[in-house]
Structure 1
Amino acid sequence: MSRIGNAPVVIPDGVEVKFDGHVITVKGPKGTLTRELHPDITAKQEDNEIIVTRPSDDKFHRSIHGTTRALIHNMVVGVSQGFEKKMEISGVGWRAQKQGNKLVMNLGYSHPVEMEDPEGIETKTDGPNTVIVSGIDKEAVGAYAALVRSKRPPEPYKGHGIKYADEHIRRKVGKTG
């Protein structure tokens, strides 16, 4: 019994869902997303809801049932509201700024780190120490935010680095001398 898989995906106003075999296309005010679903899982639209069903209670079918429903839900939320990840930079003299479609960060290296925004992803700076990654594809937003974070991950002794706004860095005690 999948609690997530059995829950219907509610389609808000302004969002259009189209099925073409096992390919689902979701169109909304922020853009369009397309994804190919697993051939064993069936998804159908009833009124303003999407119902996801599985053919059997096999372990594999149970595992992809909830995943498929969550992917469809993320597509609907993405084209209607969008996703964003907020990140904070901490360190003396470390900052980020936007130059065109490039994110330029000074992270204590001998050179600035420049990252170009991929298609469908937008970065903004909210002050010199805050970076906001936003877009309609949750997977792409998370992957690009992880790539930005990987340029200088937070370290546990002084807490310097790029961290997510809701992330807690467990601090360690340094050597005593």
Structure 2
Amino acid sequence: MTSLKLVIIFATLVAVSLAGVVRRDATDDDDDSGEEKHHGPAFLEGLDAATKDKFKAIFRDHSLKGDAKDAALLKLATSVLTPEKLAEFKTHQVEFKKKREQWKADYDAKYAKLSPNAKKAADEIKGLWEKDGMDRAAKKAKKEEILKSLTEAERKEVQDLFPHRGKKPSRN
């Protein structure tokens, strides 16, 4: 009975390691196909670089918010995507809108529970990112200055408003 357990454990370990090897091979940098690796929403996979760049430009355009960004993406998608890719795009947009609504609901619930100092700091930080006259580095420096003026508990309250920020590795 014990040897049977060992065989099962060994087989499981082998299967897991082979799955890792297969996954690494599938994304290996030594790929000779000349194709760029896919990053981003599934509907972008297989598109040419110029089309991907057009979508990425809209994704990264911080002057466009909410419905305006959605409208710009839809306009581009309807003009450049095949019917199959357009269907993928629309599915992605519906899923992303649900996520965005959930993030907003979570934010609103956490914001309502903030202490007065944390709420004031959160408002100042939000105001920073809405200003157009400052560059990103200056905004980040001012944000750090605001956070340093808070107690550790207040700082944690403010940072917990944005749980999805700062958890991803940087894209260098």
For normalisation by structure 1, the TM-score amounts to: 0.25
Which structure features the higher share of helix residues?
A: 2
Structure (1 or 2) with the larger CA radius of gyration: 2
